[in-house]
Amino acid sequence: MRRAASSKRTVLALGVAALGFGRAVVPGSPEVAADVRPSFVFVIADDLDAASVQRLPGLIDRIAAQGVAFTNGFANQPTCCPSRVSMLRGEYTHNHGIHRNFDSSGSCFEAFRDRGLESSTLARWLGGAGYRTGLVGKYLNRYPGTRDGADPSHVPGGWDEWSVPLFQPGNDYFDYSMNQNGRIVERGRGEADYMTDVLAERAVQFIRNAGEEPFFLQLNPPAPHRPATPAPRHAVAFDGLLAPRTPSFNEADMSDKPAWYRDNLTPMTEGDVARMDDLYRNRLRTMLAVEDLIERVDEALLETGRFENTYVVFVSDHGFHLGHHRFRQGKSTPYEPAIRIPLMMRGPRIPVGRSLDHLVTTVDLPATLIELAGVTAPGHVDGRSLVPLLGETPPPAASWRTEVLIERLPAPADDEGIPAWWGLRTLDAMYAEYETGEVEYYDLRSDPDQLESLHDRLDPALLDDLHVRLEEWLSCAGASCR
C-alpha cells in the first residue's frame, strides 16, 4: 500500500504552467561540486492556503519556477503547532503526541519541551553534522510558555542563532518582544518594527555571518496568520479583491456533513462575507512582505556566493478556510482547503519549472533535508524522503504512494470544537472517521469541492478496507510509516 518505487539545472527558470505564471531568470551558474555540502533555507508560512499562492507571482517565480512545485502537498494535521512539530521531528501526530496548540496543562511549546522532544530535531541532527543552525521567526505556539515561571530567555539546544518573537495575545505584527539569542528586544509600532521585515534582516545577518560553514536556516514569518496586519507599504494592495467563490462557498446543503458542522456552521450573512473578504485581502497583503523577505534572502545568498548551493523550501503549516463549507475562517478539518498546502523547492540539481502531483506531506520534509545534507535519519522519523522526486526522472505518482494519513487526534481541550478525526487522502478520494462514530467519503474526481459525502452509498467492503488501512496508518512508527 505504501511501498516506494525504488543534470544540469538551466539558468533560465521556466514558469510553472500548472500555476499559471511566467518565467524568471536565475542568476549565476547551476554547477556545484558534488562534494560541497549544501545549505538550506526552510521557510514555513503560517496558515497560508494553497489557492492564495496563485495571487503571489513573486513567490512562485523565485522558488517554484526555479525548481519544483508539489501540487498534492498536504499537512498531516491541519493545526499550527502539531504540524510544526512534525516539521521539526519528521513524525506523525500520533507519534509525537502534540495534538493541539494548547490545552489545560499549558502551551504546545511546554508540552514539546516537557516530553523531551527538543533533544532530537532538525537543528540537532544538522548541527551535530557540522551545520550552523538558525531559527528566525515563530517557533512553537505560545513560546516561551503560559505557566508560572516561563523563561522568555529560553533557547532550545541545537540552535546557533535564535531570533524568535515571544507569544502575545493577538499575534500582532507590531509591539512585540523578541528573544535574540537569549536577550529580550522590544519592538514598537514604527515601520522598521514590522515583524516580517525584522525577520528578513535577521535572516540576512545569519547568512552573511555563516562564513564558509554550511548552514540550515528555518525562517518562519507570521504571515498570513490573523490578525493579518499588512506592512504600511502594502496597506491598499488587492483593493476590491474578493475571496474566491468556490462551489463550496457558503455551502447551501450541509446535510451530508457530520453533526458538528451542521449544528455550528450557519449560513453566512452579508456582514460575515464582507468581513471575510477583508481578511482575505489582508492575508494576501501580509504575504507581499514575505515575497520581499525571499527577495532579500536571495540577495544575501548571491552576495555571499551561496545561491547555487542552497536549497530553498517554501511550505505552509496547513491550509485555511475562507467561506468553504460556511467556515468564516479556520482550519483543523479534513477538507481540502485546510489540509492542502503550498509546497515548492529549488536547489542544486533540481530540474526547473517542474510540477509534480505525487502525494507528499509536511512529515516528509525533515527526512528530505537530512538526506540532501548527507545525514542519517534517526529511527523515529516517520516521513519518506522526497529526494527520489527531485531528479530528472521521478517515479510515476501512482507508484510513489497512493495515500497519506491525515489526523486530528483527541486532546484534553479543544480550542475550535471540531471533534477529533482521522482519515486518508488518496490520489482521488478523502475518507475520514470521527470520534463521534460518523464517517465521510468524497470522490474527488467527480466532487473536488467535497459537496456530497458518499459514505452511506459505498460498498461495505470498500468501507471495511478503508478502515483497516487507516488503522494500519494509525499504528505505524518510523520505517513502517513509509
Q: What is the pLDDT of residues 274-299, one digit of tens each?
A: 999 999 999 999 999 999 999 999 99
CB of 44 closer than 8 Å to CB of 84: yes
Q: In angstroms, rounded to a whole number, what is the distance separating the alpha carbons of residues 273 and 323?
A: 8
Strands of 82-121, DSSP E: 102-103, 106-107
Cα 300 to the center of its chain, rounded Å: 24
pLDDT higher than threshold 80 for residue 122: yes
Q: What is the CA radius of gyration of the chain?
A: 21
Before 378, cis peptide (omega within 30)?
no
Residue 24 in this model has a pLDDT that exceeds 50: no
Helix count and strand count (H, E) for the chain? 12, 21
The residues pairing with 368 across neighbouring beta strands, listed in sequence order, are none
Which residue type does 155 have?
A: V
- Note the pLDDT of residue 168: 82
- pLDDT bracket for residue 32 (50, 70, 90): low
What would the mean pLDDT of 198-218 be, rounded to a whole number? 97
Of 386, 355, 356, nearest in space to 370 by CA? 386
| Furthest C-alpha separation in the chain | 62
Q: Which three cell numbers stand for residue 369?
A: 533535508
SS3 readout for 395-450:
CCHHHHCCEEEEEECCCCCCCCCCCCEEEEEECCEEEEEECCCCEEEEECCCCCCC
Q: In this structure, is the dihedral angle defined by the CA atoms of residues 147, 148, 151 and 152, taken in order, positive or negative?
A: positive
Burial 442-472 (b: 16+ CB within 10 A, else e): beeeebebbbebebeebeeeebeebeebbee
Topology of the domain comprising 36-401? Alkaline Phosphatase, subunit A (3.40.720)
pLDDT tier, 148 (very low <50, low <70, confident <90, very high otherwise)? confident
> Are residues 256 and 453 in contact, defined by beta-carbon separation less than 8 angstroms?
yes
Structural domain boundaries of the chain? 36-401
Residue 49 pLDDT exceeds 70: yes
Q: What residues are annotated to the active site?
A: 80
Confirm if 362 and 83 have CB atoms less than 8 A apart: yes
- pTM comes to 0.92
